[in-house]
Structure 1
Amino acid sequence: MKVSEASRNWWHEETEGVAFTHALDMRLLHSEQSPFQKIEIYEHETFGKVLTLDDLVQASQADEFMYHEMAVHVPLLGRNWTDVSVLIVGGGDGGILREVLKHDFVTQVKMVEIDERVVELSKEYLEINGDYNDPRAELLITDAAKFMKDARNRGDKFDLIILDLSEPVGPSSSVFTYEFCEDFSNCLTDRGVVLDSDSIFVGKKRAYFLQELCGDKDQNLVSIMQGKKLLPHVSGYRSIVQLYPAAEFGFFLYSKDGHDYSQPVSSHIGRHYNPELHKASFALPTWWREHLGF
């Protein structure tokens, strides 16, 4: 029997900068306003439980592995590493931590998340998180911008810094700045790499990052890193994440040494990731090269 429009529970994510919306028929399971943001958990018949922050999709049980595996395994398996230290900035759903901890050569992981309720609710409802009790892992509930500033002042260094950030609204707005980019660039080892990511829209005249459309157009981390050369080498690879706006998704690597991460050194197989996909993800469309500077 066809379900009438009136009986559906349509939820919309709006990207006002390009007058774009996508909709999901979902049932609300939990909603609260934390000290930092609105956190909601929905149930979708096909995609399972869905986490949204300030009305923007962060993860669903159905497709979260597409993002988390490509964010982690490309930088970690694109180089022969030993004794790797990882910093996760954000990542409250725990999926990045889960994938990082799969590698024995990772010896230390710090995860910095401002909102403890995101961690708690994600553990309760999504159940996609890594093991916070792993002896290699340390969860720090604090502001990422302050943590990074303090880490820089202490001289702390990391081999891989993963920026698993929500859009530049609410608590994430403090990290979409030149100052934050300068701080994390100074917290990277000489062999290290920073992993950033964003949804991408292509319009008639140019391409747009979701960061630009949700916040200040001058606070796009990719363009800051490309223009200011805080880390001299910037490269990118691509994937899809079906529930993110536009589905087209970009990953960006910032480094000092310009290492080529496009060649996998392991035969690791995930639900999404595999060595063939790893290599193919660095084949960029012409419009990326023309509009995004890659």
Structure 2
Amino acid sequence: MTDAKSDFANWWHEEPQMGFTHALDMKLLHREQSPFQLIEVYDHAEFGRVLVLDGLIQASQADEFIYHEMAVHVPVLGRERKNLNALIIGGGDGGLLRELLVHDHVSEVVMAEIDRRVIEISNEYLAVNGDYDDPRVTLVCDDAANYVAEALDQGKQFDLIFLDITEPVGPSASLFKQAFLDKLVAVLADDGVCIDSDSIFVGRDKIRFLQETSSEEEKGLLEIMRSGNFFPHVAGYRSIVPMYPGAEFGFFLYTKDAFDYRHPFRELTGKHYNAAVHTAAFALPTWWRTQLGF
């Protein structure tokens, strides 16, 4: 008879968060320390390839489409624009890029990812990326803080900005600082939207976010944005992403004009996304409204 305890002890475990952890029976395919972070790719019999950065799951082939479709199609289709330009900060697995390029009215996508090796390894092992050779795409392998400063100096602004970044430690630490966030506000168009997201842990007394539990010293972006010191308006919508801790996942829309993104201006059917799911994602549970004030 197999010793179940012994078997589980040999499974991969995500770094513990809030007193619990993922445990997955996975095989390591690739591991390397880049100049910025530990990059690992595993293979799971049911979930396929799994990308892990510094011990935390970033994407799996099984359910990455849920996160990427909901992150992109809600803000893209929630407000009608003729020519939309977007900035992805992070996004090394390429899934956000893939979904943005679905839309003909997206005229430009700049992707600023600090770690070229995340892009290369994701392309090789996950193959969920968009087309980096699309003429609408500009890939910048540099600290996003540097790119945003340069864009500001050039007077450039974006309709959509996606913050697809890791927790407030390591290569993303500078992106949680006032100096960067002031510039981020400036490069977002007055009618634009900045999209952030995070895993949500439902506790007995309060809710917590992965960004909060990953660093004892740093605040998560939602808490920073809710201060009102940067973007004056915050709205939220939700989805379930099974491979993220707790599965409950929140998307946060930071705007200057408080535009309502609940209603898509045209239909689109993705693997997960559709118009009904779009609208329903804004139907927030009472505990969301009570504890987050949405």
TM-score normalized by the length of structure 1 = 0.96
- Deviates further, 136-145 or 176-185: 176-185
CA distance in 1, matches of 2:127, 2:4: 32
TM-superposed deviation, 1:224: 1.3
1:171–1:218 CA distance, 2 compared to 1 (3 A) = closer
The answer to whether structure 1 residue 11 and structure 2 residue 12 are counterparts is yes
The two structures, once aligned, show a CA RMSD in angstroms of 1.5
Deviations 1:194-230 (A, max 9, x none): 0100001121221111111102454211111111342
* Matched residue, 1:83: 83
Any residues of structure 2 matched to 1:70-109 within 5 Å, and which? 70-109=70-109
- Deviates further, 168-177 or 206-215: 168-177
| Identity between Structure 1 and Structure 2 (%) | 58
* Matched residue, 1:155: 155
Moved over 3 A (4+): 1-9
CA distance in 2, matches of 1:223, 1:166: 16
Say if 1:181 and 1:221, in contact at 8 Å, map to a contact too: no
TM-score normalized by the length of structure 2 = 0.96
TM-superposed deviation, 1:190: 1.4
Deviations 1:68-105 (A, max 9, x none): 00000000011111110100000000000000000000
Say if 1:181 and 1:225, in contact at 8 Å, map to a contact too: no
Letter in 1 for 2:235: S
CA distance in 2, matches of 1:217, 1:283: 33
TM-superposed deviation, 1:148: 1.7
Letter in 2 for 1:14: E
Deviations 1:35-92 (A, max 9, x none): 1000000000000000000010000000000000000000001111111010000000
CA distance in 2, matches of 1:137, 1:287: 40
Say if 2:168 and 2:218, in contact at 8 Å, map to a contact too: no
Letter in 2 for 1:253: L
- Deviates further, 165-174 or 121-130: 165-174
Q: How many residues align?
A: 293
Q: Specify every segment of 5 or more residues in structure 2 that has no aligned partner in the other structure, as ranges.
A: none
CA distance in 1, matches of 2:187, 2:240: 29
CA distance in 1, matches of 2:232, 2:216: 24
CA distance in 1, matches of 2:53, 2:92: 11
Any residues of structure 2 matched to 1:141-220 within 5 Å, and which? 141-216=141-216, 218-220=218-220
Q: Specify every segment of 5 or more residues in structure 1 that has no aligned partner in the other structure, as ranges.
A: none
